Amino acid sequence: MKRFDWQIYLGLSLVAISVFFYFVHYAIFQDTHHIFIYLIGDIAFVPIEVLFVTLIVHRLLDKREKRSMMKKLNMVIGTFFCEVGIKLLKCFSQFDCHFNTTRENLLVSNDWTGQKFSDTARRLKDYDYQIDSQKGDLEDLRNFLLAKRDFLLRLLENSNLLEHESFTELLWAISHLTEELVARADTRKLSTADYAHFSGDIKRAYIVLISEWLQYMKHLKDQYPYLFSFALRTNPFDLYATPEIK
């Protein structure tokens, strides 16, 4: 309630000041005719002023604020891929039964346009990934995620990430997979049902991770060509990628 008290007092004060100046105007000019002409004219303009402020100015400010927030979020996403994302893509690819088909779609190059990124993302979104949790090393994946657990939790604590729903979904998928792996005493001795469950968990995280990686690569190409150059040379889907420039 205290939060609104000062607003109420301010509103009443402004109204009182306005009334005071109208009385001053009347006391000097003794002309109620002009007072009511301007008063009604000002009141008539209020809806137009509200329309202008709320629908135009507010929208422009909101768009500017959202652009600024997305820039900060992309910095966080960049940190995620440097610390976790790229390595995780390599780990997940071990479980991809048709990795060669997947990687052929993700050999990003300097020639890729915005339309190419969009078409690839749309195609892979509907792609039926075949994941087998027995095909790769679950223990290696478990140890890696456990080492990055605190980092991922700190990302989840970032309230700004709520603005980026798909990235938040990715963090929750990875977090769930981590909890499932940590809960197993020995990931080398699991039941058939457990392996099937992990195949599903890895597939869920893998799909969203690839989608976010494509968006991140597009962002780098559009905004930071020098970072995009390095990202190309460390592409986890390019078997011949090397950070060294030849």
Q: How confident is the model at residue 193 (pLDDT cuts 50, 70, 90)?
A: very high
Q: What is the pLDDT of residues 125-148, one digit of tens each?
A: 888 899 999 999 999 999 999 999
Whether the pLDDT of residue 3 is over 60: the answer is: no
> Which sign does the torsion angle of CA 79, 81, 228, 221 carry?
negative
Helices (H), 84-161: 86-93, 99-104, 114-125, 138-147, 149-156
- The percentage of residues in the chain with a pLDDT greater than 70, rounded to a whole number, is 91
pLDDT at residue 14, as a whole number: 80
Give the pLDDT confidence of 180-191 residue by residue, as tens digits.
999 998 888 899
- What average pLDDT score do residues 158-171 get? 82
Question: Which residues are CB-neighbours of 220 under 8 A, at least 6 positions away?
Answer: 78, 227, 228, 231
Q: Which pair of structure tokens corresponds to residue 51?
A: 């329309």
pTM of the complete model beyond 0.85 = no
For 205-233, the pLDDT digits (tens) are 999 999 999 999 999 999 899 999 999 99
